Amino acid sequence: MDNTDVVLITGANSGMGKAIALKLAQTGARIVMLCRNKERGEAALKEVQKLSGNTGVQLMICDLASLKSIRAFCAEFKKKYDRLTVLINNAGVILPGYYKTVDGYELQFGVNHLGHFLLTTELTDLMVESAPARIINVSSGAHKMGKIHFEDINLEKKYKFWRAYAQSKLANILFTYELAEKLKEKDVTVNSLHPGAVGTSMGINRDTGFGTFIMKLFKPFFQTPEKGAQTTLYLALAKEVEKETGKYYYRKKSVTSSKQSYDKDMAKKLWEISEKMVQL
Ligand SMILES: NC(=O)c1ccc[n+]([C@@H]2O[C@H](COP(=O)([O-])OP(=O)(O)OC[C@H]3O[C@@H](n4cnc5c(N)ncnc54)[C@H](OP(=O)(O)O)[C@@H]3O)[C@@H](O)[C@H]2O)c1
């Protein structure tokens, strides 16, 4: 990677996103850190710029829980950059309790899947123009417990936060496989991954701080964000995967995902319902 590369990382102010931003900034690439909170974003930006010495690292604010914010972000991004060679859809949320996005969708499906679905589809043309390019969707092993509840996609009838998270992470993989198929002639690869169990801010409510104590308790058993970032970095940088597409990785190896993640009808149905939900 060098300064002809433009890399966009979502959720780049914390955990693995920040570790990925730092490593990629050290290659000299132009990095855009997509963060939802200005204060947290600016603090992370300063840190990444200082440690990497790369002044081409920029912060852009976007709330993936708001379709309007995503559309405004994409318009601004296209004004500032005429290329996008690596898109890392890393941001994620898992929260006990039922929350909704600005547009009224269940939060975890809304941010983890729909937010990235809209962001990616809005930026796909630019990536095709910038090819070769890579899209990396950070999923989770939790997808194996997931189902897409088409009849109650917002889980209003039967909510469990874990169910909602697993649904969103299965959606990440179905989206990966479907998009890879659509882009297979375009030299834009699309892959997904499970980073392992990583000690980050996942599960902590940013407004109330709920979850901080539990996370502290478990942190010694988890990988560091730097270790957790390795498979994503591998997919972004490694020469041997430059042509690999439509795959799911764990520990830098292509592995099989759950049986239903390969269901093409389900992927198509999810694509259609997602298009409707994001008003494409
Ligand atoms: N940690 C694990 O064990 C683990 C395991 C499997 C998969 N994963 C996946 O790894 C990815 C990275 O998570 P992490 O563990 O590094 O957690 P993290 O430290 O909590 O980072 C999550 C990032 O997502 C951002 N985010 C949340 N909601 C957002 C929104 N509405 N708009 C924009 N950004 C938003 C957060 O911003 P704020 O800081 O402002 O909240 C934060 O920067 C996630 O997709 C997660 O599902 C993690």
Please name the residue whose Cα sits nearest to atom 34 of ligand 1: 11
What local confidence, expressed as pLDDT, does residue 214 receive? 65
How many angstroms does the Cα of residue 11 sit away from the middle of ligand 1? 6
* Residue 15 CB–ligand 1 contact under 6 Å: yes
Whole-angstrom distance, CA of residue 191 vs CA of residue 173: 8
169 domain residue, yes or no: yes
What local confidence, expressed as pLDDT, does residue 146 receive? 96
Q: Which atom of ligand 1 is least distant from the CA of 17?
A: 16
Q: Are 122 and 69 in contact (CB under 8 A)?
A: no
Paired tokens of 164: 């909602």
How many angstroms does the Cα of residue 92 sit away from the middle of ligand 1? 4
DSSP 255: E
Residue in this structure with the two tokens 């300064």, named with its chain if needed: 3
What local confidence, expressed as pLDDT, does residue 141 receive? 96
Range of the structural domain that residue 91 is part of = 6-277
How many angstroms does the Cα of residue 185 sit away from the middle of ligand 1? 31
How many angstroms does the Cα of residue 90 sit away from the middle of ligand 1? 7
How many CA atoms are closer than 13 Å to the CA of 14, on its beta-carbon side?
A: 18
What local confidence, expressed as pLDDT, does residue 143 receive? 97
Whole-angstrom distance, CA of residue 119 vs CA of residue 108: 16
* Residue 205 CB–ligand 1 contact under 6 Å: no
How many angstroms does the Cα of residue 93 sit away from the middle of ligand 1? 5
Nearest alpha carbon to residue 20 among 40, 38, 34: 34
1 domain residue, yes or no: no
Whole-angstrom distance, CA of residue 72 vs CA of residue 90: 19
* Residue 223 CB–ligand 1 contact under 6 Å: no
What local confidence, expressed as pLDDT, does residue 85 receive? 98
Q: For the chain (length 280 residues), average pLDDT per consecutive 10?
A: 96 98 98 98 98 96 98 98 98 94 98 98 98 98 97 96 96 98 97 94 79 70 94 98 98 98 98 97
Q: Which atom of ligand 1 is least distant from the CA of 91?
A: 24
* Residue 92 CB–ligand 1 contact under 6 Å: yes
- CATH number of the domain encompassing residue 215: 3.40.50.720
* Residue 41 CB–ligand 1 contact under 6 Å: no
The residues that are catalytic are 165
Overall domain count for the chain: 1
How many CA atoms are closer than 13 Å to the CA of 20, on its beta-carbon side?
A: 34
Nearest alpha carbon to residue 69 among 42, 35, 39: 35
Q: Which atom of ligand 1 is least distant from the CA of 65?
A: 31
